[in-house]
Structure 1
Amino acid sequence: QKPQELRGSAVLITGCDSGFGLHLARCLDSRGFVVFAGCLCPEGEGAQSLKRESSKNLKILKLDVTSEEDVQKAKEVVQANLPEKGLWAVVNNAGISDWAEIEWSTIDDFRTMVDVNLFGCIRTSIAFLPMVRASKGRMVYVSSIFAFFTCLNMGAYSVSKRGLEAFADCLRVEMASFGVKVSIIQPGNFGPATSIVRTKTGSEIWEKLNKERKQTFSQQYMELASDYFKSTCSSGFKDRQMVIDAMLDAITSSRPKYRYLLVSTFDMFFFYTCPYLPTFITDAIFFLSPMYHKRKEMLYSK
């Protein structure tokens, strides 16, 4: 279908409390779509501002993607309010981020990350796929460059996003038989443009470590890691429009891309080739990081 023919079609977006989800919801509403904006906190400022500033065609849904009950209730609301053109797309945007080395993390840290970023998408997809299949529409997944790029302190996040991409790739192959197209959005560093980045001090991490870990890692390194992470995040894209444009293309283009890699022009070549490079080369790039060498010097047990 042509973009103008999609006016009046419905799109469900998860994670509309802030960031990409909130702005995509506004954008689609202004283009004549019926928007179901899934929000973790429907009474929160983000959801309420969306409600105030949008047309009557935008509906706020309470949607915690980790809750089967929320997902099923949202499905009932969507089915009861579905426009004549049906549900054209689901944008799986809800996600969380955190940072920590693997040994600073607990199994619950990994479980929380995966439950939102991976199982949340799977739970939502399974519920809404029949409606999207009926319209031969689109499934869109917001991933990250960390799905394929190894970075210090992003272990749990990478696990969740790599799993998400595996799911989306499998779904794309299965859905091709039904005319449903599946796209993956891979943003780079958009920390300043969203509220997904969680800030915490080195002291906060240090206090949670057991005695054994404290004999391996120094508090000085924790503070350095915290400062480095904050500095890296603040140096990212401040404008979210590149991501919104990619989402719009995935929803409206007659030939959407399988993947939308969203990094600077300077970084584009490296990130395009990264998944295909031999492991010893990508590891070597990782080891060349000045931060990695500072870390090695500060460890108690080497």
Structure 2
Amino acid sequence: MHPRHLFPNIVKGQVSRASRINTDDIQFEQELDNLTGYFEQRGYGKNLVRNAIDESVWGLVNNAGISKWGEVEWNTVHDYKRVAEINLFGSIRTTLAFIPLIKKSKGRMVFMSSTNAIITPQCNSIYCVTKRGLEAFCDSLRIEMKKFGVIVCVVRPGDFTSATKILKKQTAEDIWSTFSEDVKQVYSKEYVDTYIKSIDMRLKRQSRDPDEVVSTVVKTLMISNPNAVWTVASVAETSLAFICSYFPYSVLVPLFYSLGGEKERRVLINQ
């Protein structure tokens, strides 16, 4: 089905993705203006969004997301708050704004999570915290919305880094220069560079087709009984998510320690 036909009938509340807006402290009216302008520029009827919203909103897709990597003590509370403002609170704000209309139409809400809500390796705590928090929010919301006939779903993609460009290319100097003096004394630039090389490898991989994720979102909106959680990931990622869900930490910590190259990295720490 062409998006021109899909949007008016189904995705009337797709604010987070379609409008390409930053949900940090933006008023609802401005969000609607941005969304309206986005679709008018692409040939949809004037005031389509506002007319649709005045009538009802059947589907809401929350897809705003940014990322920042680094070991915990490399970051600040501000870094955690900045990512959470978009990945977690952005979705919460949009949801609160649209709940009355979604309830009215007995529609559904779709949230873009990540396998990193389940797979939480070193050097990725900021992103993982927001995605796990988002899924916890959805778990509660799903139960609360059931009595109103509203369905809440989560789409959990694997690693689409090379396609989404969610990670920016940085040098070891870029990262190391932001450290406090105490942290610089512990972590050398060579240590940081091991992570840079790992990320560069991910960015150089052949891009996975993001249409797989988009198709899952559309299916979630269109079929009568969608799954509560959809995982769009490779066999390896799905297997690792299973291990992280059911195996004890006595297995997980050594596993990530080995897979993440911590043994080799340890010798680069200044102790």
TM-score normalised by the chain length of structure 2: 0.86
Which is worse superposed, 7-16 or 105-114? 7-16
Q: Which residue of 1 aligns with 2:13?
A: 12
User: Residues of 2 paired with 1:177 and 1:253: CA distance?
Assistant: 20
- How big is the shift at 1:245? 1.4
Instruction: Give the structure 2 partner of residue 39 of structure 1.
Output: 20
Structure 1 distance, partners of 2:65, 2:53, is 27
- The CA deviation at 1:219 is 0.7
- The corresponding residue for 1:221 is 191
What amino acid maps onto 2:208 in structure 1? K
Task: Rate the CA distance shift 1:9–1:183 in 2: closer, same or farther, 3 A.
Answer: closer
Q: How does 1:2-81 map to 2 (within 5 A)?
A: 8-16=9-17, 37-40=18-21, 64-69=22-27, 71-74=28-31, 80-81=50-51
Distance in 2, matches of 1:5 and 1:108, equals 39
Return the structure number with greater strand share. Answer: 1
> Matches of residues 138-149 of structure 1 in structure 2 within 5 Å?
138-149=108-119
Aligned equivalents of 1:250, 1:287: Cα separation in 2: 36
Distance in 1, matches of 2:52 and 2:12, equals 10
Deviation string, structure 1 residues 19-65 (Cα, Å, up to 9, x no partner): xxxxxxxxxxxxxxxxxx3222xxxxxxxxxxxxxxxxxxxxxxx31
Aligned-partner Cα distance in 2 for 1:96–1:132: 26
The aligned residue for residue 247 of structure 2 is 277
Check the 8 A contact 2:16/2:61 in 1, yes or no: no
Which residue matches 2:84?
114
CA RMSD, 1 decimal = 2.3
In the alignment, structure 1 residue 254 sits paired with structure 2 residue 235: no
Q: Which position in structure 1 is the counterpart of 2:177? A: 207
Question: Structure 1's 6 and 215: CA in aligned 2 closer, same or farther, altered over 3 A?
Answer: closer
Residue 152 (structure 2) pairs with residue 182 (structure 1): yes
Cα displacement string for residues 41-97 of structure 1 (whole angstroms, at most 9, x for unaligned residues)? xxxxxxxxxxxxxxxxxxxxxxx311241x244358787321787211111001101
CA distance in 2, matches of 1:264, 1:80: 39
Aligned letter for 1:39? R
Which residue of 125, 132, 148 maps to 1:162? 132
Identify the range of structure 1 (106-115 vs 75-84) with the bigger mean alpha-carbon deviation: 75-84
CA distance in 1, matches of 2:232, 2:6: 27
Equivalent of 1:129 in 99, 105, 109 = 99
SS of match in other structure, 1:12: coil
Taking only the aligned residue pairs, the percentage that are identical comes to 30
Deviations 1:246-291 (A, max 9, x none): 1111111111111111111344233234212212222221112252
Q: State whether residues 117 and 161 of structure 1, in contact with CA within 8 Å, keep that contact through their aligned partners in structure 2.
A: yes
- C-alpha deviations, 1:158-182, integer Å up to 9, x for none? 1111111111111001001111111
Distance across 2 between alignment mates of 1:123 and 1:290 = 35
Provide the rounded CA distance (Å) in 1 between the counterparts of 2:55 and 2:227. Answer: 23
Moved more, 103-112 or 257-266: 257-266
Answer yes or no: is 1:90 the counterpart of 2:75.
Answer: no
C-alpha displacement at 1:106, in angstroms?
1.1
For 2:127 and 2:238, locate their aligned partners in 1 and report how far apart those are by CA, in whole Å. Answer: 22
Aligned residue pairs: how many? 254
- Report the equivalent of 1:197: 167
| Contact 1:190/1:236, CA 8 A, preserved across alignment | no
Q: 1:291 to 1:233 in 2, by over 3 A?
A: farther
**Alignment TM-score, normalising by the size of structure 1:** 0.77
Task: Tell me, in whole angstroms, the C-alpha distance in 2 between the residues paired with 1:14 and 1:234.
Answer: 31
Counterpart of 2:258 in structure 1 is 288
Specify whether residues 268 and 143 from structure 1 end up closer, same or farther in structure 2 by C-alpha distance, changes over 3 A only: same
Deviates more, 1:7-16 or 1:197-206: 7-16
